[in-house]
Amino acid sequence: MDTFESRPATIQAFRLVDLNEHPEAIDDLPHGVMPWPTDGRGGARIVTIQGQSVYVRPGEWIATEAKPGYYYPIAHDVFERRWRKSSITPEGRDAARVRFFTASEHEDVVALRDVIVELGAQIEARVPAGRNKALALTALEDVQMRGNRALFAPEGLR
């Protein structure tokens, strides 16, 4: 399954093929996506996070919800307008999480960290290696440190 991004979210999605024409693709369906032939076409049935059972036609996209095991369909034309393939690899995102790690689970620290990890992963994926990339990542570490300090500084020092 490929990863796609749209501002501000990142999703995992795949385009459903006609499972009658490509029965080998049935083995690659994620857990929770079930083959469901209707009208002679090999679509699939998914369960949304709201618990609804939804039929997905071949050619439509199936995206994962934030909660694993739940999916939602996206019409192909809507998907093409909104999403583009991500240049960030899972390894790149993991490296950014390590670089910008914070032990605090304070809601504001976590929110700040999530945005900084995303920006760090974007810099890692898009900016060519060299001094300017290193400076950009160092500056981002400084932003994180100053943001965290401002969250917990006494009122008069903010």
Q: In what order do the strands lie in the sheet with 41-47?
A: 34-38, 41-47, 53-56
- Tell me, yes or no, if the pTM score tops 0.85: no
pLDDT digits (tens, 9 = 90+) for 50-69: 888 899 999 999 998 666 67
Which of 83, 43, 44, 79 has the alpha carbon at shortest distance from 61?
79
State residue 34's pLDDT score: 87
Q: What is the pLDDT of residues 95-114, one digit of tens each?
A: 888 999 888 889 899 889 98
Helices 90-99/107-126 angle, 10° precision: 130
100 exposure class (CB count in 10 Å sphere: 0-12, 13-18, 19+):
buried
3-state secondary structure of 65: coil
How far from chain centre, in Å, is Cα 145? 25
* pLDDT per residue rounded down to tens, the chain (158 residues): 787 776 566 778 889 999 888 888 888 888 888 888 766 778 898 888 888 889 999 999 999 866 667 788 999 999 998 888 888 888 888 888 899 988 888 989 988 998 899 899 989 988 999 999 999 999 999 999 999 999 888 776 66
Nearest CA to 34 out of 55, 13, 48 is that of 55
CA distances from 124 to 66, 88, 96, 99, 140 (A): 24, 8, 8, 11, 12
Helices 131-152 and 107-126, packing angle to 10 deg: 170
